[in-house]
Each structure stands twice: as C-alpha cells, then as structure tokens.
C-alpha cells in the first residue's frame, strides 16, 4: 500500500525502519519544522526529519497539517493509508477521509488506559508494572479510535521513561507492519474501546517535577523514573551547616525501606538515605541545576554534606 507517514518523535523511528523494509511504499513523510533545542537553543531538525534525510526519503515540514497546503499535499500523494506516530497535531476528518483505508496511530499505552500526550510517563509515575502499545484508528476524541492491535511489556522497578519509551518503540514496529498487512488484506479486526475504563495522561508541566518528601519513598521513586529526562524530579538540597541551597534533579533512586517513618521528611539519615513520609530512599544519581550527572556521594563530598542535611521543595525562583 501507498503510505504517508506523519510524525516527529524518536518513538516512531523503529516503525519507519520497518516500513522502509516492508513490501509497502512509504511515499512521503510529514513532520514539524525545525526548532530551537538544547541549552544553546540551536535550530535542530527533529528525529523524523533527520531519519528522512539519512534515508533519502521525501518529506515536508508543516506547522499545521490541516491547512490548505497540508490537505493538498496529502491529496497529491494519494495514499492508501495514513500512519501517525508521535505527531503532536490533531488531524482533521477531511484529511483522514483522503486515504482509501483511513488513518491509524501507534499509541504508547494499553488503551483505553492513559489517553493523552504523556502515556508512558504517567504509567511509570503511577507505578504500573505493565504497559504496551495500541494501534488504533484516528478519531476526533483523542486516542479514542477503534483498536486494531495491542502488544504488552513489563515495566521493571528501575526502568525510567527513556528506557520504556525506546522498548515500546521497538515493540510497535513489527505489530504495525502486521496490522497494515491485515488492513490491506481486509482481515483487520476493529474493536471499540470501553470508554468507561479510560484514564488520562495529560501533557507534563514543569511543575509536575516538584518533589514533596512527605510522600512515600515508593511514590517519589516512581516520579523520578517517570519524569526523567523531562521535566525531571526536582528538589532543593539544603546544607544544615550554612543554610546554602542547591537545586537538583534526582535521576536514579532506589527504595530501601517502604514502611518505616523517619525523623523528618526530606532529612538525610545516618545511612545517607532520605527519609520520606513513609520509607526511605537511596539517591544513586542526581544532576545539580546547570551541572552534570553525578553520584550522590560525590555531590555530598563537594558540598561537605552528610547526615542532618535535608531536601525541601523548590521555591518558584528555583524552578
């Protein structure tokens, strides 16, 4: 089948490789324009544009696929199917109606759970031990289309967002090709979602990363995993000796105790772990704001820190 691909994120790269290697014809790619990225705010092409250039695939960058330009572009390539992965733009019924076989989307959750922009993050934050991908038809209500296929994977207790994200991208690729083959053959099964079981996975905000050590060690550990690398689970380290404050982002943690209650939430105890509302947390790796990743002991040594120092929530000026 003739396929037009819409996407901009790394999540779809394995699927693009699979499409290129398949019997189907990837006729065009639609992606977002280049934008500023990184600390230097340099103009950077997104992952899909970079892939298209490296693989000599024709592509167009559009701010709005639903513009007249976007509609005419899709019509021009006369696709049998539109494949949408990590695109970030809602696609109009007019465009969905152009391909003979409609439009499908690869979503990073086991729908109807975690509909929204950040399904992988919220699954980890909420402590899920299993997630997966769903291939669905595009619908006007976000992520509410009919399900054509799903595949599952386990989430390990130390898996962070970036690990689960990349594993789901790999998981999706063969399932996508199998689904497209079934659509072409007319054997695809379309199952409606149970809307009563739908849960939300809204776009993350910077403030979602602000930590409160009155929560349980397990809750904080899940936030650290689910919020890395963005927006990052952040707090302020405070030296008990001189009151100096150092904003940091926690990168890797380990729950060392789930039930006991320490002296004070956020306090560094005799084992150099952090007392939480319940349980305690070992910090394996963190990143001082404006600095590089380092292990916790190196961080403490550089600030003459140790037992009795503590973490507190970030103030607005530190965020």
Regarding whether 15 and 72 lie in a shared domain, the answer is yes
Regarding whether 252 and 183 lie in a shared domain, the answer is no
Regarding whether 67 and 161 lie in a shared domain, the answer is yes
Regarding whether 153 and 12 lie in a shared domain, the answer is yes
295: number of CA atoms within 13 Å, CB side? 5
Regarding whether 153 and 26 lie in a shared domain, the answer is yes
Regarding whether 148 and 214 lie in a shared domain, the answer is no
Domain that holds residue 220: 206-318
Regarding whether 55 and 177 lie in a shared domain, the answer is yes
- CB neighbours of 156 closer than 8 A, spacing ≥ 6? none
Q: Are strands 130-137 and 103-107 parallel, antiparallel or unpaired?
A: antiparallel
Task: Assign 283 to helix, strand or coil.
Answer: strand
The count of structural domains within the chain is 2
Regarding whether 129 and 42 lie in a shared domain, the answer is yes
Looking at 197, 219, 249, which one is the last position of a domain? 197
Q: How far apart are CA 281 and CA 221, in angstroms?
A: 8
Tokens coding 116 = 């929204």
In this predicted model, what pLDDT tens digit does every residue of 259-291 receive, in sequence order?
A: 888 789 999 999 999 999 999 999 999 999 999
Regarding whether 154 and 19 lie in a shared domain, the answer is yes
* CATH number for 29: 3.40.50.170
In this predicted model, what pLDDT tens digit does every residue of 147-184 receive, in sequence order?
A: 999 999 999 999 999 999 999 999 999 999 999 999 99
Q: Are strands 147-154 and 2-7 parallel, antiparallel or unpaired?
A: unpaired
Looking at 175, 197, 219, which one is the last position of a domain? 197
Regarding whether 290 and 267 lie in a shared domain, the answer is yes
Tens-of-pLDDT digits for all 319 residues of the chain? Answer: 999 999 999 999 999 999 999 999 999 999 999 875 655 557 789 999 999 999 999 999 999 999 999 999 999 999 999 999 999 999 999 999 999 999 999 999 999 999 999 999 999 999 999 999 999 999 989 999 999 999 999 999 999 999 999 999 999 999 999 999 999 999 999 999 999 999 999 999 999 999 999 999 999 999 999 999 999 999 999 999 999 999 999 999 999 988 888 789 999 999 999 999 999 999 999 999 999 999 999 999 999 999 999 999 997 545 5
Regarding whether 46 and 188 lie in a shared domain, the answer is yes
């Amino acid at each position: 089948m003739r396929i037009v691909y819409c996407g901009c994120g790394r999540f779809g790269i394995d699927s693009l490789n699979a499409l290129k290697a398949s019997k189907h014809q990837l006729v065009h790619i639609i992606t977002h324009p280049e934008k500023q990225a990184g600390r230097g705010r340099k103009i950077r092409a997104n992952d899909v544009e970079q892939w298209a250039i490296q693989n000599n695939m024709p592509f167009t960058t559009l701010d709005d696929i639903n513009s007249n330009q976007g509609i005419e572009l899709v019509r021009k390539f006369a696709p049998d199917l539109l494949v949408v992965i990590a695109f970030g733009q809602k696609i109009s019924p007019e465009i969905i109606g152009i391909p003979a076989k409609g439009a499908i989307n690869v979503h990073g959750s086991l729908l109807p759970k975690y509909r929204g922009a950040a399904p992988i993050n919220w699954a980890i934050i909420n402590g899920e031990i299993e997630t997966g991908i769903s291939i669905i038809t595009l619908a006007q209500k976000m992520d509410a289309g009919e399900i054509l296929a799903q595949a599952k994977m386990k989430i390990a207790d130390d898996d962070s967002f970036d690990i689960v994200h990349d594993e789901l991208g790999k998981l999706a690729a063969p399932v996508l090709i199998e689904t497209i083959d079934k659509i072409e053959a007319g054997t695809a099964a379309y199952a409606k979602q149970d809307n009563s079981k739908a849960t939300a996975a809204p776009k993350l905000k910077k403030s979602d990363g602000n930590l409160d050590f009155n929560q349980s060690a397990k809750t904080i550990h899940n936030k650290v995993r689910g919020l890395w690398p963005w927006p990052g689970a952040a707090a302020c380290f405070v030296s008990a000796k001189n009151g100096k404050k150092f904003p940091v982002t926690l990168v890797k943690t380990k729950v060392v105790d789930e039930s006991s209650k320490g002296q004070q939430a956020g306090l560094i105890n005799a084992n150099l772990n952090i007392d939480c509302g319940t349980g305690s947390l070992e910090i394996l790796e963190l990143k001082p704001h404006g600095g590089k990743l380092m292990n916790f002991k190196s961080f403490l040594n550089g600030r003459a820190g140790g037992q009795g120092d503590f973490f507190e929530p970030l103030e607005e000026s530190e965020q």
